[in-house]
Structure 1
Amino acid sequence: MTYRSNFTPGTTRWAVRRAQWLAMGIREEDFDKPKIAVVNSSSGLSVCFQHLDGVAETVKQAIRAAGGLPFEIRTVAPSDFVTSAGKQGRYLMPSRDLLVNDIEVQVEGAELDGMVLLSSCDKTTPAHLMAAGRLNVPAILLTCGFQLGADCGGRENDIEEVYKAVGAVKARRMTLCDLKEMTRTAIKGPGVCAGLATANSMHCMAEALGMALPGNAPIRAGSERLDEYARAAGARIVELINQDIRPRSILTPTAFRNAVRVATAIGCSVNVVRHLTAAAVEAECDVDVLAEFDAAARLPQITQIRPNGPTRIEAFAEAGGVSGAMIALLSELDGSVLTVTGATLAENLAARPAPDPEVIRPLERPFRAEPGLVIVRGNLAPDGSVVKLSAVPAAVRRFKGAAIVFEDEAAAIDAIERGEIKAGQAVVLRMLGPKGGPGTVFAASFMAALVGAGFGSEVAVITDGELSGLNSGITIGQVMPEAAEGGPLAAVQDGDIIEIDLEARRITLEVSEQALAERIAALPERPTTLERGWLAMYGKLVQPLSKGAVLRAEE
């Protein structure tokens, strides 16, 4: 085959690259092979990435054995529990798009022929899907697995329990010593957070879209099974290049429809909505992801994976994982879509074992008749908002309360500690969206603190900030348009009555249409951000949440 990475002999590009690679010890007989990026977001900052260097080496060996020439590419490595420390997590969402551009610069700049993308923490998987769609060179995602917790004081412990315990300490329902002890056993081994939080949710979405090998998600990090998938991905990328199968032939409207239905039925993180939208935008795929979530709202919930219920992520993996869920959902999916195997989804699933029906139930016998994720609209969220219905207490489907407004998450957390937030209130966290930050504020810490303080079913939270897939409670997230864009959320005042009806999928600010319009018209002009550097650039380039909060230069 002729590869784009094989430059014409005698040209400057050919000569200088040849000199570089000979000096690196690359053999001349390898120069004409397909040249493949192994995209590794390795970092010493987070346990999420601790094992990726070993995974990268396994992938590279498999690429060489299959007749390819691998090049390991190091990228930015954002971690939601580490990179969130600075500026209240404002770097997290921008890091997703920084990673997309990082990959573009290195893969397109070098004109490599394909990519194996090692996906781990929350932002890496969506960024990898976005980069695959944007560059449209043969690509395969390798989801690199979840961590395990351990027993603490006779109880199962993991990062979700630690997250909730912070609120319990704030509310003086737990001692700092107890929390310190929990941190000793919450994480035992590398990988992403246990549970169906954003990382595992997006791993599942990568497979549901057809961009990861069947059975890859979820998977335990550091396992022999992950090594097997690393070897398979390394071999498969060479075949994908030779067959010229590209991401945009996989990332079709039908594939996104399938993924949305899977996300709805298994109760994925609220953040999959923005990330799937962004992946579709980057792939120039003509699909309305929000409308697909509306259409999928008739599906029941066929799993109850933490934080949606008691099932642990490792039990879901053993029961069949996302492949097993797709087998159970096959009557609602289009099995004719192409996947990275070169076969259709239906052909892939036919080769997978039947799921354990006690963990992944059939459609006719679901755990809950309602969907895991829903889009909620109303005069407070005219473009929609996202609710993880599976993580809302079953007894709470209607809520009405007086608003208490914060534009700083830390202030809201302090208000919990001071006893200022009380049962029956509707907490509004605003100016925390992509433009409002700039860079989306990680509002998840407030929600976790609220649940830990015992208010998960008694206080509603409405925010344009970013939530965690670990969050539970009455939470309305990703409110669109965000407050900084002049959305109605910016017009809410302390004491306003907000009504939430999750059965009707409505959120209503109880003021007249005229009064709301007058408030919005009277909103002061948003001051120029005081941020400098990457966050300032991001604030100028980021598009609305309804468009996935991708970056676009002003036209």
Structure 2
Amino acid sequence: MSEKKQRRSQLSYGPRNKDGFIHRSWMKSEGLPDDVFDGRPVIGICNTWSELTPCNAGLREIADHVKRGVWEAGGLPLEFPVMSLGETQMRPTAMLFRNLLAMDVEESLRGNPVDGVVLLGGCDKTTPAQLMGAASVDLPTLVVSAGPMLNGKYRGRNIGSGTDVWKFSEAVRAGSMPLRDFLAAERGMSRSPGTCMTMGSASTMACLAEAMGIALPYNGTAPAVDARRRVIAHESGRLIVDLVQRDVRLSHLLTRAAFENAIRVLAAIGGSSNAVLHLLAIAGRLGVALRLQDFDDLTATVPLLVDLQPSGRFLMEELHYAGGLPAVMQQLAPLLDAGAPAAATTTIEGHYRDAECFDSDVVRTLAEPVKPVAGIWVLRGNLCPGGAVMKPSAASAALFRHRGRAVVFASIEDLRARIDSPDLAVDEHSVLVLQGCGPRGYPGMPEVGNMPLPRKLLERGISDMLRLSDARMSGTAFGSVILHVAPESAIGGPLALVRDGDEIVFDGPARRLDLLVSPEEMAARAAQWQAASTDAAPARGYARLYVDHVLQADQGCDFDFLVGGSGSAVARESH
């Protein structure tokens, strides 16, 4: 950093006048000595710890380890809380509040005298929200994740968060698993603090932060209770001080090359489809040109390299012990941009150049992958003019090409009321269609896209069907599920026009999704839908703001007025 450039913190703590007196004096009430205001970097520790967010329950201790590193490197660490989004606890869906947390982070960083920030997140929406807010302010930034919890245990075998829940639930509904066994599995599923130990959205985003060079190696995989997680926190505290001193801001690291590497890693690890929304939103805050189509183009030749639930067999502990994300990136190296920048090393190649793989069953090679088809399929057709996505690594290859008649549910409540009815007109060739669950329609775009199969089909041994919606699904979920249909049904997208019995054609390899209804009939239905629509927006509060300003899924579901950063300067200051 240039010697002539004054740090943000010194605008508050440097002046030898009334304003400086006020800032310094109030901070000294916390027991801080005079010399910590001598111009050293002030590091904000942005913490989403909460007892209502079990994934993040270990972050209070992690913050202390970050502080140790900051003090050691000559900085002043100041921890502050922001909203915490517990995926398993929040209603109606944590995604509704991702943008609110992003606003909380952005304004907390801009309004307070900090020179750099370490983001402490874990549960699904906390990491992307924190990065969105930090990207808008563009300070030196690092991510330290909560880390995955220990493997679940049930009757002597490993079980995985979410993934096995869906399997057990369907088994109970099919009559093949007693309720007492279901509840016994519940007791063994979550055995420690930390995020899902499957490759859900939390582990996906932690790995992608590492792949983009804004988190230290092994941040994505070290278990929450492992001592290595504390070492990562300590080293991140030291590194953030160095980044401030060199003025290495988030925009210097999150380049187009970094996003491209992240998308290819997303495919290789079998990562969550939710990452599509989050990476689009983060890129939008930075002004990086990233399109929905890029997720297909960049992953078309990337196979699945990690044998991990829900796309494979193992869990996050096994991935970490096998060599973590560096081992994966080393295998993926021919497809990565080795020169992309990284905070801890000159380039991202430094993260994986000397990595070793210790278990070739967990981390495979390009020549012998887990599955040849991975990544994100971006579909086009008259049902999704704005696009739709599918995660083929979690789907059934037998359904990659499919033609069937629609069974339509107008809402998630409608689905829950009728899915187990013996009178439901459905067979294994049908396509389950769920409407009203997009960004505005729910609102918040819930994780209900992996609809439960009809009970009468489960009882016959049917384990997968083609499912289609404008909703999301958990990264821990699996099945032949088409998601994020845009534009959504609540604003009159073609999904709203589908009726029971309509034929739908899906061709995954060709990336097509079409409703076999004439353009004239589609136009007539659209006119009828518009005339009959009685959808009402929330009357007040944040939900009203969300519905009025949220963008569609193909644009990342950010708010229209938050796209693009506004920097770290405070418009007006007074005391």
| TM-score normalized by the length of structure 1 | 0.94
Does structure 2 retain, via aligned residues, the 8 Å contact 1:444–1:471? no
Residue 429 in structure 1 maps to residue 437 in structure 2: no
Residue type of the alignment partner of 2:59 = L
1:425-463 Cα shifts (integer Å, max 9, x gaps): 211112111111222223157348989878775422111
1:250-309 deviation digits (Å, cap 9, x = unpaired): 111111111111112221111111111111001111222432432421222222211101
The 2-side partners of 1:414 and 1:348 are apart by 50
Find 2:263's aligned residue among 249, 257, 260: 260
| CA separation of 1:71 and 1:478: change in aligned 2, threshold 3 A | same
The structure 2 residue matched to 1:137, chosen from 127, 136, 139, is 139
The residue that corresponds to 1:101 in the other structure is: 103
**Cα deviation 1:393-443 (Å, max 9, x = unaligned):** 233322222112223213313323324354222111121111112222231
Contact 2:328 2:363 in 1 (8 A): yes
Q: Among residues 546, 550, 553, which one is paired with 2:558 in the alignment?
A: 550
The answer to whether the 8 A contact 1:261-1:293 is kept is no
Q: Give the aligned partner of residue 186 of structure 1.
A: 189
Shift of 1:100: 0.9
Does the Cα contact within 8 Å between 2:506 and 2:513 map onto a contact in 1? yes
Q: Which deviates the most, 114-123 or 312-321? A: 312-321
Q: Distance in 2 between matches of 1:184 and 1:333?
A: 41
| Other structure's SS at 1:382 match | coil
CA contact (8 A) 1:133 1:279 kept: yes
Q: What is the CA deviation profile of residues 44-66 of structure 1, one whole-angstrom value per residue up to 9, with x for unaligned ones?
A: 12320111101111111211111
1:179 is displaced (CA, Å) by 1.7
Selected match of 1:470 from 464, 473, 476: 476
- Counterpart among 496, 506, 522 of residue 502 in structure 2: 496
CA–CA distance in structure 2, aligned partners of residues 554 and 321 of structure 1: 35
C-alpha distance 448-80 of structure 1, shift in aligned 2 (>3 A): farther
Q: 1:341 aligns with which of 325, 338, 344?
A: 344
Counterpart for residue 121 of structure 2:
119
Determine whether 1:78 maps to 2:111.
Answer: no
Change in CA separation of 1:454 and 1:221 when aligned onto 2, cut-off 3 Å: farther
Q: 1:342 to 1:458 in 2, by over 3 A?
A: closer
1:145/1:191 contact within 8 Å kept = yes
Q: What root-mean-square deviation, in Å, do the aligned CA atoms of Structure 1 and Structure 2 show?
A: 2.2
- Tell me the amino acid that sits aligned with residue 8 of structure 2: R
Which 10-residue stretch deviates more, 440-449 or 9-18? Answer: 440-449
Q: What's the % identity of the aligned pairs?
A: 33
Q: Which moved more, 1:241-250 or 1:45-54?
A: 45-54
Give, as a single letter, the amino acid of the residue that structure 1 aligns with 2:44. Answer: A
Q: Which amino acid aligns with 2:67?
A: K
CA separation of 1:445 and 1:298: change in aligned 2, threshold 3 A: closer
- CA-to-partner distance for each residue in 1:209-262, whole Å, 9 max, x for gaps? 111112221120011010110111111000010011111111111111111111
* Distance change (3 Å), C-alpha of 1:458 and 1:348: closer
C-alpha distance in structure 2 between counterparts of 1:444 and 1:428, whole Å? 9
- Does the CA contact (< 8 Å) of 1:311 and 1:359 recur in 2? yes
Partner of 2:443: 438
**Equivalence for 2:7:** 3
Q: In structure 1, give the amino acid aligned to 2:304.
A: Q
Distance 1:554 1:22, change over 3 A: closer
More displaced, 62-71 or 285-294? 285-294
Q: Secondary structure of 2:397's match? A: coil
Q: Which runs of 5+ in 2 are unaligned?
A: 564-575
Q: Judge which range, 396-405 or 225-234, deviates more.
A: 396-405
CA deviations 1:42-95 (Å, max 9, x no partner) are 111232011110111111121111111111111111121111xx33x2xx1122
1:147-186 CA-partner distances (Å, limit 9, x unpaired): 1244323443333322432333334433332222111111
1:35 Cα deviation after fit: 1.0
Cα distance in 1, alignment partners of residues 344 and 389 from structure 2 = 32
Secondary structure class of the residue paired with 1:232: helix
Q: After superposition, where does 1:285-324 map in structure 2 within 5 Å? A: 285-324=288-327
Measured after TM superposition, the shift of residue 6 of structure 1 is 0.6
**Whole-Å separation in 1 of the counterparts to 2:557 and 2:528:** 26
Gaps of 5+ in 1: none
Structure 2 CA distance, aligned partners of 1:341 and 1:122? 24
Describe the SS at the equivalent of 1:522: helix
SS at match of 2:80: strand
What code does the residue aligned with 1:340 have?
A
- Write the letter of the residue equivalent to 1:389: P
